Amino acid sequence: MESIISRLPAGFWTVRYDGSRFPGAAAVAARPGLAAGANCQLFAYEVLRHFGLTPPELRSSELWEDTESTVRVPAARPLDLLLYNATDDAYGAHVGVDAGDGGILHLCAEVGRPVVWRPEDFAARERYRVLLGVKRVLPPRTA
């Protein structure tokens, strides 16, 4: 399978981090897309949409509790969402996308642009040291 990373258009790699641009924010409603920047959730969801998935527009804690559009899974596979935080609390958790081959694609304030880290890169940082778990976006339900 061709790498998720190699299949992302160049525009994804120039997205700047903007913590005020999150799912449901007025700034996003007024100017949708990634051109004006994004937080980790908005970025991750746009990556999934690029690959044909339909993630819910939820903040971290809502995403973690969601059972309608996503399911918790014990091990990640490409295009699954990984949630990290300083504690095991999902509120304010950081969201990344499994990119395959042990890489996790994400957008964080520390770097300011999209980057691929390995699990040990997250574990080495206090704010991301706890992997809460993995969420998989379910296929849309048919009537």
pLDDT tens digit string along 99-126? 999 999 999 999 999 999 999 999 999 9
pLDDT tens digit string along 36-67? 999 999 999 999 999 999 999 999 999 999 99
Domain boundaries, the chain: 10-137
Mean per-residue pLDDT of the chain: 93
**What percentage of the chain carries pLDDT values higher than 70?**
97
In CATH, which of 3.90.1720.10, 3.40.50.300, 3.40.50.261, 3.20.20.140 is domain 10-137? 3.90.1720.10
Whether residue 1 is predicted with pLDDT greater than 50 in this model: the reply is no
Q: Is the pTM of this model over 0.75?
A: yes
CB < 8 Å & 24+ apart, contacts of 66-72: 66/135, 69/137, 69/138, 70/135, 70/136, 70/137, 70/138, 71/135, 71/136, 71/138, 72/133, 72/134, 72/135, 72/136
